[in-house]
Structures are given as structure tokens and as C-alpha cells.
A and B are shown apart, each in its own frame.
Chain A
Amino acid sequence: MKPAAIANGYMAILATISPNLMAMGNDDPLMAKVIIERLEAGIDNRDIPQWLEVTGWAGYDLNKLWLKSSIERTDSETESGDIELLYGRAIAPYWDFQLGWKRDFQPTPTRDWLAIGFQGLAPYFFEVDSTLYLGSSNRSALEIEVEYELMLTQRWVLSPRTEILLNGQNDNRTATGSGLSSLEAGLRLRYEIRREFAPYLGIHWERAYGNTADLRQEEGEKTSEVHIVVGIRAWF
């Protein structure tokens, strides 16, 4: 193939992936981002517990459609899993308001919720994702996730993270109790090989409280666990 032909081929590809070539272009083209917040496994345990937390969005500067999911597996069984579909709208320079639907597909029976949340960057660079869930039979829950990134160097990042879950009611069938249900905390040290890709090593701790702890105990489950985890964080 002649270089000119190769060049034209390259330009053809360029043109298809950069739609704003006419006139002065579109400042706000449709975009999509997928973020694998954590894909990790506990390496200190025979069951090798695994976690996956994914967030994705498609849309524009101020209006986006969000998809969020988190799954926990132990011993090749899905212990808990949920998926959320939200419409998000920017309401402040650093904050999006989100409204949508969430389904807990594990443990069974499935529970559906109306989700109302705020996601953004708080002063002092805390990344916050807080959502209020309203379900049938007057069920309600509040989940708040806070994460911080401490740059040790331009590529080594130490990231503490915490998640708190509160429930309005007992839900015996899903082993959820009212009040403070669970608390999670983690500390992960990642190395950004590229901005988009970083393997990490960390520690993950979680504990159930109150009625939730009691319900879990009744079912013979642990109410507290701590793991050394390895994983990757990636986005594209």
C-alpha cells in the first residue's frame, strides 16, 4: 500500500472518531465513561472473596445517564449484588443530582428502590456518593460513600475509602436490620501505570451492626471480616 493511501486511511479513521470537524465543532459531544472503581480479591482467605464495583456514564457536560453496580462473591457464590440506573444532572460546579432506580438482585428476594442521590466532590477533595433509597412496604435506606486520594508521588496514590449503610426498617428475608446496618472501610495503595490503569494492594474491612448483625448471626454468617486485597482500578 502506498504511504499516501495509508495516510488517507488514517485520516478516514480520524474523521469517524472525531465528529466535530465541521466549522468550529461541538464543544459538548456525546461521551461515555466506564470506571472500574475496584475489581479485587481477598488473598488471605481460602474462599477468595471477590468484589466488583463499576460505574459508568453516558451523556453530556451537565446531563448524564449513570449505571452503577456492585457485586460481592465468596466461594463462587454471589453474596450480594445490585444495579442502579440513574439520570444525573449537574446542580453545582462539583455536584450532580441523581434520580433513578436500584435493584438488589442478591440476596433474594430482589428488592427494588427509588434512588435519590448527590454525587460530587466536597471541599477538601472528598469524593462523595450519597443516595437515599425508598422501597415498597415503607422500606428506606441511606448509603454514603466517601473516598479520598492522597498522592504520594505523581503515580503512587493512597486511597482511603468508607461506606456506611443505614436502613429504616428490618427486612428479615434479606438479613437487613434497621438503624446502622454496616460499615465498610478500606485503604488501597495503587500505582497508576497510566491514568486509566492502576493495580493496587489494600486492606478491606467490614462489619455489620445492630439488628443486621443479629440477623446475620442467626444465619450463621460472620458479622465482621477483614481482608488483604489485590485488585485493579481502571477506566476508559
Chain B
Amino acid sequence: MLDRRTFVTGILSGYGLLAAGSASAGTLSGTSLSPSSDFSLTLAPIPVNFTGRPAFATAINGTVPGPTLSWQEGEDVTLRVTNHLIETSSIHWHGIILPTTMDGVPGLSFPGIPPGETFEYRFTVNQSGTYWYHSHSGYQEQTGLYGAIVVNPREGDPDGADRDHVILLSDWTDENPAAIYTRLKKMSHYYNFNERTAPDLYRQIRSEGPLATWQDRAMWNDMRMSDSDLADVTGYTYTYLMNGVSPASGWTGLCKAGERVKLRFINGSAMSIFDVRIPGLRMTVVAADGQDVEPVTVDEFRIGTAETYDVIVTPESDSAYTLFAQSLDRSGFARGTLTTSPELVAALPAMDPVPILGHEDMGMAHSAGGHAHEPVISAQQRHPHAHHHSALAPAGTAGLGSAAGIVHAATEYGPHVDMRTENPVSGIDDPGVGLREHGQRLGREVLRYSQLINRHPTADPRQPGREIQLHLTGNMNRYMWSFNGVKFADAEPLELQYGERVRIHLVNDTMMAHPIHLHGLWSELETGEPSRIPRKHTVLVQPGKTVSYLVSADALGRWAYHCHLQYHMLGMMREARVS
């Protein structure tokens, strides 16, 4: 049941924020409803102050983020969501496998929750781990409708953690999200203040000479693209939050020396990709998207929008550590402190240099690693009447990834698509732009998807019966996004047959990373170990790269399938229909 005091405290902290701004911010976070199977969640606006200026957020039970929901694996949960906003709302349980009518996507699962009404979600929790929940209506997620879910496993914590902290990362703006979308349509680089300048050009000419500089710039100039196009919306408007606390205040989590502390990182942002590290502590990744993986110890990892990673850290005695999550474009960061004593202060690291996209990120790589593909063939050449969801015979063993040739659909040609990769390689072994040199230069080991191996055997050992190649497409300048050049509004559903095992081969024909989220079904990421294929709900597809995963279509219904970036998903979306 909803604890009335929690509710009231939440409201008060909202006001506290409005008045004090920073000092009281910590009280807002860490709101948690006691483990239960019955929850009441109320969606309503609250005044907040994350930036020094008062603003309004959409909150769940009076807090941003909403309360952390603690569930028990195997139990039935009931969630009564009451909408006190003046617009239709919804809550989607991200990463939870449940009946389609409980998935909370307006238009697919149900009509949404009208203002003043309550919708009762009821389903059995058949999994454990770290997940999150958020609104699937309008831009409400951007304005605060999100929170963490922790599902306790039936047999206790498999990682032997002594302590647990949820680390929910998000991005806050005082701006109206609809205005952000409008700005991006009118000037797509509106928020990018890392653009290449004349002094940059001068420096390059001095170090490389005019000819080499000309050659290096030729591709960018020809394609009319920017090598600093890393994030559409940046720290220019965003304040990055950790558990709802701004970097000015900083969230604090306590632990004891020598404890095995589990940090449940959740990227609950609307548009941000974070690079996470804890200077002085190595992190052992034990779960990805809530699912157990073989422990792998790293110094840094990139977390795409909507992904989650559980890591185990072991702090030494009397020490404080900074949890540092810098945005991919280095325009800002979220931070917090993990400390054995509240009095201790940890040093704040500097942000890394701004990454610069290279030819590799444009799908022109001839780099080592990854699977080689056949040369690119346009759909007109191969299939004169190619349907925009090209279904092909599977190529490649389950778990090892697709070896199919890249086929650009006929629908990818036109004013709505500004780029098609020429020679994309698999991004499975690529830490991503800006992180590739960290191992060699800084001695930081960075997590790669290829290191994710399921701790449990592959549940469905079948080979895929067919393969669907889906291209992530867009026109950055016009700010249009689509799959295979066809936006959601114009697209037919992606038809999956109940019970089939299918491979989805994603080809990123843009120079941005897109976190692709499939509702209702697992995305079994082909990281190279057929007997231990890890399960994810959101897969970050690197710019100009490919990735493939297997899907067992074992849940009937209409499921949303989309890029999780808030301002991309309107176009880069499909209905995946299992029938």
C-alpha cells in the first residue's frame, strides 16, 4: 500500500526544492515503497527546482523520480495508477515480460489513462533484476514520470551483495519538451555547442598539412554532416540528475568498508547516453538489463538510454568515491558519492575530451573486429520490388550474429534519408566513439557488448527460422527519423509468428547511436557465445554499425518497438505484432 507519509514527504520535498534549491534536494531521492504486491501510484504536477529556477514537473506520488518499486519474483502485483494530470497518461513497465494489455502503451495496449481516472495494472512477475517504469504518453517521461523497479529473486541475491543502491540517471530541462522538438526541427544542431570552428581547422592544417586536412574534411563537407553530432539535446538545456539530485548537490549513498555493494544503474533519461565510472573503484558488471551475466570487471561503461547495468563494487575503509556519469557529448554530467561516512568528500574528476566521430562511425570502417559483411547491394538491384521489411533466409549461427549482406531498401532513398552506410561492420566489439582509446591511453578497461555472456544457458537453443534486416534511418538536418526510411505513421506492423525464432539484424544508417527497445519479448544479443546468449530489452546500436539479436516470439499481442530517444521515437518506431 502507498505509505501516506511517503506521499506527504514527497510533496514537502518538492516545496523544499522550490525554496532551498540545493541543500534539501537529497531528501527527494531514495523514496521507496516498501516491498509489497499492491501499489497506488498517483501522477500529478509538482513544483520543483533542479536548476536554480522554479519549474513544474510531472511526478509520481509527489517525487521525481517516482518511488522505487520493490517486487518479488513469482508474485502477482497490482498497481493502481491514478492520473491527476490534465492530459491522458500511461505507465509502461520497461523490461518486464507481461501480457500485452498490461504493457501500458496507449494505442497498442490500451487507450491510456484519461485525466481523473485510475487504471489497474495486474500481472505476475516472472523475472528478477533491475528495471524501470515510465510514462509512454507525449513527453511526460522528460518531465518526470519515471522510476526504478527492483525485483528480488526468489532464491536471494545471486551476487552475494551486502548492500544495494539504485542509481537512476536522468536528464531534466526547464524547457517545454514540445518546444525542444520544435527547435530541433527548425535547427537540428540547436543544442550542439561543440561544433568545429575555424581555429580547429587552423590547428589541423598546422599539424597535418593542408592536403591531408582537405582530404579528411572532404567526406564531412560532401555529406554536409558534423563530426561533433553526438547528442541532439545537450547540457545546454539539460541538468543531469542522479536519483533526482543535480550535480550541484550530488546524491550520496552510504556503505561500509569491505562490503559488496550492488549499484543498480538505470538510464532513465529522455535523450542522453552516459559514460559511467567510479574513479578508484573497479566495477564488476553482474547484470545487463536486469538479466544475470557472467561477471566482468571494468573501469568504465557506456549506458544507452533505457538500459540498466548492475555492478558490484567493494569500497575500502574510510573512503569516498564519486559516481561519475558524463554525457556522451561531454556537455555535462550526473554525479553522486558512495562513501563510508557522510563527512567524507570525494574528488570530482574532469570530463573526458569531446569525442569526434570518424569514418568508422559513418559505416566506412575497414577496422579489425566484428563480422565482415558482403558488399552493400541496394534493394533495387537485389529485389526489384523489395518490401520495406526485407525478410531473408537466416545467415549465421544463432549466437554468433548475422553474416547477411547489407541491403538498403528502396524506401531508404529520398529526401527523408541523408545517409546509407557503405560498409558497416558489427558494433558488438566496439566500446563506442570516445571510449575506444581509453584502454590504451588511460588504462581504463571499457565494457563492450561482446563481453556480455548469459550466466544461464540459452533458453531457446533453436536456430532462427528467418532474419529481418531493419535499418535505422533519418535525416539529421530535417530532423526526421524512421526504420528503413519509413516512419511509424506510414509503416505496416512488423509481423511475427507466434512461437517462431527470428533474428533481427539492425543496421545503423545514421551517425548517432540509437537505443532500440523491443517491448514484451527479449532481445537476445548475439555476443558470440551460442550456449549463453544474453537477454536485453534495449540494445544500443553504434553509429554506422550493425548488431543482431534473436527473438523468440513467445508472447501474443501488439508490442511497441522503437528507438528510446524521446525525440526519435515518434518516427523510429514499429508495432511488432505477434499472432
Contacts and interface: CB of A to CB of B under 8 A. Distances in A.
Contacts of B223: 123
A23 B418 contact: no
Contact of B477 (A33, A94, A124, A235): A94
A78 B58 CA distance: 53
Contacts of A21: 87-88, 137-139
| SS of A interface (majority) | mixed
Contacts of A91: 415
Interface string A148-169: 0011111000100000000000
A151 B196 contact: yes
A93 B178 contact: no
Contacts of B222: 123-124
Contact of A153 (B139, B178, B197, B571): B197
A122 to B, nearest CB: 8
Interface string B395-423: 00000000000000000000111100000
A18 B112 contact: no
Contacts of B480: 27-28, 61
B415 A92 contact: yes
B176 A123 contact: no
A165 B128 CA distance: 70
Interface stretch (A3-11, A66-74, A108-116, A130-138): A3-11
Given A24-B105, A25-B570, A26-B489, A151 B198 contact: yes
A27 B489 contact: yes
B138 A62 contact: no
Contacts of B187: 195, 235
Contact of A151 (B138, B186, B195): B195
B214 to A, nearest CB: 11
A6 B178 contact: no
Nearest to B192: A154
A3 B88 contact: no
B487 to A, nearest CB: 6
Interface string A102-129: 0000000000000000000101110000
B487 A8 contact: no
Contacts of A18: 138-139, 176-178
B112 A3 contact: no
Contacts of B182: 31
A95 interface: yes
Given A10-B45, A93-B477, A195-B187, A25 B195 contact: no
Of the candidates B45, B190, B194, the one having the most CB atoms from chain A within 10 angstroms of its own CB is B45
B112 A23 contact: yes
Contacts of B570: 20, 24-27
Contacts of B136: 24
A229 B186 CA distance: 27
Contacts of A33: 186
A17 interface: yes
Contacts of A27: 480-481, 487-489, 570-571
A14 B415 contact: no
Of the candidates A17, A22, A25, the one having the most CB atoms from chain B within 10 angstroms of its own CB is A25
Interface string B99-124: 00000011100001000000000000
A12 interface: yes
Given A15-B87, A94-B477, A121 B224 contact: yes
A233 to B, nearest CB: 13
Contacts of A10: 45, 56
Contacts of A24: 105-107, 136-137, 488, 560, 569-570, 573
Contacts of A124: 221-222
B221 to A, nearest CB: 4
Given A21-B88, A154-B193, A195-B190, A61 B416 contact: yes
Interface residues of B, number: 58
A228 interface: no
Contacts of B571: 27-28
A198 interface: no
Interface in B418-466: 418
A152 B477 contact: no
A90 interface: yes
Interface string B43-86: 01111000000001010000000000000000000000000011
Contacts of A15: 86-87
A62 B489 CA distance: 15
A33 B523 CA distance: 41
B46 A17 contact: no
A161 to B, nearest CB: 17
B478 A90 contact: yes
B179 interface: yes
Nearest to B195: A151
A31 B185 contact: yes
B77 to A, nearest CB: 25
B40 interface: no
Contact of B416 (A14, A62, A154, A158): A62
Nearest to B111: A23
B7 interface: no
A22 B112 contact: yes
Contacts of A153: 197, 199
Contacts of B56: 6-7, 10-11
Of the candidates B194, B223, B478, the one having the most CB atoms from chain A within 10 angstroms of its own CB is B478
A61 B176 CA distance: 21
Given A3-B15, A27-B570, A94 B224 contact: yes
Contacts of B87: 11, 15, 21
Given A20-B570, A93-B418, A95-B415, A7 B106 contact: no
Contacts of A92: 415
Contacts of A28: 480, 487, 489, 571
A93 B480 CA distance: 10
Contacts of A152: 197-199
B221 A94 contact: no
Task: List the 10 closest pairs (A to B, CB-CB), nearest first.
Answer: A18-B178, A27-B570, A7-B45, A90-B415, A23-B107, A21-B138, A93-B418, A27-B571, A23-B106, A124-B221
Given A4-B45, A93-B415, 20 more contacts: A6-B56, A7-B45, A20-B138, A21-B87, A21-B138, A23-B137, A24-B136, A24-B488, A26-B489, A27-B481, A31-B182, A31-B185, A31-B186, A33-B186, A61-B480, A94-B224, A94-B418, A94-B477, A124-B222, A125-B221
11 contacts: A7-B46, A7-B56, A11-B85, A11-B86, A20-B178, A22-B137, A23-B107, A24-B569, A28-B489, A28-B571, A195-B190
